[in-house]
Chains A and B, each alone.
Chain A
């Protein structure tokens, strides 16, 4: 069992980096590793509890049929998956980034930190991946 820290920056719905990051976290949990995710800048909105689904008239789908992704559900689901696999998933948001974006209302299970916390996660990890944004 190893510990991996992944830093992410992209807000929801803006970058292919986001699902790739979620895939990495899922794979790491599935393989029995502990994972720290540090959400910086726009990525702090991934766990924002106020995200809502919507129907899609262009697709011709109702709200239920469209089943539009809200990344907050992915966060919740991965936290539950980690519990199921008996590994630790830390989902930590940069506090200042949360404040300036007004996304304090987060799904349960996330926490708040600073770059120093991110550094401590890295120090305690076997591998570190920082996914910057453009």
Chain B
């Protein structure tokens, strides 16, 4: 069985309409099916690692929009034992402090990405 790495750098693209991030969701679904898969958050997607994200409260006319719960979803993949990495350089560039992060996420330096790639057989780029 191959080891997969989902590299996610697209962020908040369709999260309101889909009520999740579809790359995180897909990865979770693969894991549910038995895949050996990890997630690397990079670029703007490192913001998915931040606590207290809140997308509730939208309403279009009488239709309320439930909204995604990214913190719930990120915690769920961590609970599912999907290794979840976040690029520390990208966090720092965006002014995100370690204290703001969801517990259970492992920070990796950008320079360590080649090693992460070597440790996985297949890459899915989102």
Complex Cα–Cα for A134 and B1 (A): 29
Number of A-B contacts (CB under 8 A): 47
Q: With a CB–CB cut-off of 8 A, which chain B residues contact A132?
A: 10, 23, 124-126
Q: Is the CB of B122 within 8 A of A128?
A: yes
Q: Give the one of A114, A119, A130, A133 with max B CB within 10 A.
A: A119
Q: Which of A40, A115, A130, A134 is in CB contact (< 8 Å) with B33? A: A115
Chain B nearest CB from A115 CB (Å) reads 4
Main secondary structure of the interface of B (DSSP, over half): mixed
Q: Is the CB of A7 within 8 A of B14?
A: no
Main secondary structure of the interface of A (DSSP, over half): mixed
Q: Is the CB of A122 within 8 A of B122?
A: yes
Chain B 29-73, CB-CB to A under 8 Å as 1, else 0, gives 110111100000000000000000000000000000000000000
Q: With a CB–CB cut-off of 8 A, which chain A residues contact B29?
A: 114-116
Q: Is the CB of A41 within 8 A of B22?
A: yes
Q: How many residues of A contact B (CB 8 A)?
A: 16
Indicate if A123 sits at the interface (CB-CB under 8 A). yes
Q: With a CB–CB cut-off of 8 A, which chain B residues contact A92?
A: none
Indicate if B85 sits at the interface (CB-CB under 8 A). no
Q: Is the CB of A7 within 8 A of B124?
A: yes
Q: With a CB–CB cut-off of 8 A, which chain A residues contact B35?
A: 116, 119
Q: Is the CB of A41 within 8 A of B124?
A: no
User: Which single residue of chain B is at the shortest CB-CB distance from A134?
Assistant: B10
Complex Cα–Cα for A134 and B44 (A): 12
Chain A 69-104, CB-CB to B under 8 Å as 1, else 0, gives 000000000000000000000000000000000000
Interface residues of A (CB under 8 A from B): 7, 40-41, 114-116, 118-119, 122-123, 128, 130-134
Cβ contacts A to B, 13 pairs, < 8 Å: A7-B124, A40-B22, A41-B14, A114-B33, A115-B29, A115-B30, A119-B4, A123-B1, A130-B124, A130-B126, A132-B10, A132-B124, A132-B126
Interface residues of B (CB under 8 A from A): 1-2, 4, 10, 13-14, 18, 22-23, 26, 29-30, 32-35, 122-126
